[in-house]
Structure 1
């Protein structure tokens, strides 16, 4: 009944926003009102917030302050709707605008989302520097939830650099800030982030404790929380060679996953699991799906699994072919990342100069 009520509320809210979009002519006054509405609904209805923001057809006609707010809210809404931010450089406008005004909350948020963009571009060192600058502004503004999000992302950056002690500390800081913000759901997710770090440290008992803790806050856990918990436990059981339990959990995850784009990773996990179990036919079934995916890294990992299976079958020729395919795809991915990072940086620099020019011109 609770979930039904939330669905009805979301539907009514979307209808209300649709009425705002169709009736509003986006005058300066109405634009500020619209942005206020978006800020008010961002946490509970991020999909509706994004829909409303995307209904704005000529954002460049806004005042500079409204445009800075608009770009900040648009990046925030895209992030909350799990969209790729790697090509989103408009947040730089918000950073430059709010940096020059006495608004630590919006400046801190702008810097945080700028860090998110850099993190999605695999610019880990740059993202870390941006997050650390955002932290000062967010502390000044008392933005505890944003500080929790920030430390959670720094924990992931530390994981990527194998700085596991630092990653655990950042997860603990994230939990502390989420408690300050009374955000129980993100406390639960932060425990899972900590569990991921313990998994990388091969401390499986600690992983299980983190998962158990993450599932202890609600009578009925959200689907995304249980899916990520079961996936992490499945990896633990795979590591401990308790393959039947890992299989049960991975199949459960695949059935419950609400995001279709994430299912390919579950196919890959099952393919690898069945490879380790020596169940060749079932492994090939899931790995073949991965070979048809657009994600080159997924295909590379699938070919790597097939190569290992061929080695087990003493089929050296086939193993060599699959290994070549895996390495070639991985090489393409790495080169694409480097090229995209350079292109993104060039575009970002041009756009930043343009934004600074606009702001400087207005200050004269």
Structure 2
């Protein structure tokens, strides 16, 4: 659900002096009650760039020498911002020693955005390591500490829902997605929790409800003209119709997904193959099963070989059937 944009380091160099000069102004409008004790204008500049230019924020933070010598408030903000910048730039967070500096400083008693962010990113660190229950605890703490209902709170609910979904706690997961949607309703990000709700409905075998929420999400994505999300939702709808055995509708939506994402989108291509097989269009099914097979993981390859085996049986081709069976057994 995060929006990540990047700018070049040339931008950073061109405006660096300006950002530093307005540090005192940024200090007065910072989001945390602790900001008044932060002395580093570099930290405040990085903070101001974080949402739109996380790569530039990361460059500023990495330029700070000897962060261990910073005053305590600055060290806490540095730890929080560096963790946040790494996360936004898809860099593994590693152990939790860095973010714990922020957690210990901001605490878990008084509501503040920075306290909430510290616990959220501690949860994200746990999540990366697969410690879902610990991640859930930190996300719940972050929710409790948030003083406002905004997009960041919605993002916490979204990640909390993802944790519950991984543990097959679908009823709790769907409520978390609904909380996120209530916050985002009417805004540009509302599509994401709707898609989450739809996915949970499908996992619960509530196919009609899944169609309803996917279609609603698609309507909003079309308004926003978000091409990548539109393509993903076309694929989602194709999968639901395939589950409902409405293969004509499934083909309609998977074809739209392929137009948006291209035939090199391996998951869409595999779905197209399965739908063609269900429509008994065996030549097309064989083409799409074979097209991107080398790019698939072991599970995707197994689906391909199983599909090829079914095609071989339907076309009475024992040689192809034997080859597919051998490959399937040796995936």
Q: What's the C-alpha RMSD, in Å, of the aligned pairs?
A: 3.6
- Pick aligned residue for 1:213 from 208, 212, 216: 216
Within 2, Cα distance between the matches of 1:130 and 1:72? 15
Pairing of 1:179-198 with structure 2 (within 5 A): 179=185, 184-198=187-201
Q: Any conservation in 1 of the 2:232–2:257 contact (CA below 8 Å)?
A: no
Q: Which runs of 5+ in 1 are unaligned?
A: 1-8, 291-298, 326-364
Equivalent of 1:98 in 106, 130, 134: 106
Q: Using a 3 Å threshold, how does the CA distance of structure 1 residues 319 and 80 change in structure 2: closer, same or farther?
A: same
Cα distance, 1:127–1:10 mapped onto 2, change above 3 Å: closer
TM-score under structure 1 length normalisation: 0.68
From the superposition, tell whether residues 32 and 219 of structure 1 become closer, same or farther in structure 2 (CA, over 3 Å).
same
Deviations, residues 328-354 of structure 1 (Å, cap 9, x unaligned):
xxxxxxxxxxxxxxxxxxxxxxxxxxx
Q: Could you list the per-position Cα deviations for residues 250-291 of structure 1 after superposition, in whole angstroms to 9, with x for gaps in the alignment?
A: 3134239xxx9xx5544554455556554113211122332x
| In the alignment, structure 1 residue 19 sits paired with structure 2 residue 14 | yes
How far apart, CA to CA, are the structure 1 residues paired with 2:162 and 2:108?
A: 30
Write the distance in 1 (CA, Å) between the matches of 2:138 and 2:167.
17
For the Cα contact (< 8 Å) 1:233–1:249, is it kept in 2?
no
For residues 272 and 121 of structure 1, the distance between their equivalents in structure 2, rounded to whole angstroms, comes to 34
Structure 2 distance, partners of 1:272, 1:162, is: 26
Cα distance in 2 for residues equivalent to 1:321 and 1:18:
55
Give the match for residue 244 of structure 1: 251
Counterpart check, 1:200 vs 2:203: yes
Give the direction of change, closer, same or farther, for the CA distance of 1:247–1:197 in structure 2 (3 Å limit). Answer: same
Distance across 2 between alignment mates of 1:217 and 1:227: 10
Instruction: Report which of the two structures shows the higher radius of gyration computed on alpha carbons.
Output: 2
Give the Cα–Cα distance (whole angstroms) in 1 for the partners of residues 228 and 63 of structure 2: 28
Q: TM-score, normalised by structure 2?
A: 0.74
Corresponding residue for residue 73 of structure 2: 65
How much has 1:86 moved relative to structure 2?
A: 5.3
1:80–1:230 Cα change, 3 Å: farther
Residue deviations 1:132-185 (CA, integer Å, cap 9, x gap): 2222212xx225332211111121222222222222211111122335xxx812
Counterpart secondary structure, 2:40: helix
C-alpha contact 1:174 1:190 (8 A) present in aligned 2: yes
Aligned residues: 296
Distance, in Å, in 2 between the alignment partners of 1:39 and 1:184 is: 24
CA distance in structure 2 between the partners assigned to 1:272 and 1:57 by the alignment: 55
> Hey, what does 2:33 align to over in structure 1?
none
The answer to whether the 8 Å contact 2:164/2:170 transfers is yes
Distance 1:239 1:67, change over 3 A: same
Question: Over residues 233-260 of structure 1, what are the superposed CA-to-partner deviations in whole Å (9 max), with x where a residue is unaligned?
Answer: 232233233342243133134239xxx9
Write the distance in 2 (CA, Å) between the matches of 1:254 and 1:57.
44
Once the two structures are superposed, residues 190-211 of structure 1 have per-residue CA deviations (whole angstroms, 9 ceiling, x without a partner) of: 1111111112123233223223
Residue of structure 2 equivalent to 1:308: 306
Q: Which has the higher contact order (CA 8 A, sep 6+)?
A: 1
Q: Distance in 1 between matches of 2:144 and 2:256?
A: 41
CA gap of 1:308–1:126, structure 2 versus 1, over 3 A, is same
Q: 1:49 aligns with which of 42, 51, 57?
A: 57
Maintained 8 Å contact 2:228/2:261: no
Q: Distance in 1 between matches of 2:294 and 2:266?
A: 11
Indicate how the Cα distance of structure 1 residues 238 and 31 shifts in structure 2: closer, same or farther if over 3 A, else same: farther
Q: Which residue of 1 aligns with 2:115?
A: 107
Query: Is 1:223 equivalent to 2:227 in the alignment?
Result: yes
Structure 2 unmatched ranges of 5 or more: 25-37, 314-320
1:156 aligns with 2:157: no
Shift of 1:31: 7.1
| Counterpart contact for 1:105–1:143, Cα < 8 Å | no
Aligned position for 2:150: 144
Deviation at 1:111, TM superposition (A): 0.8
Give the Cα–Cα distance (whole angstroms) in 2 for the partners of residues 209 and 196 of structure 1.
Answer: 11
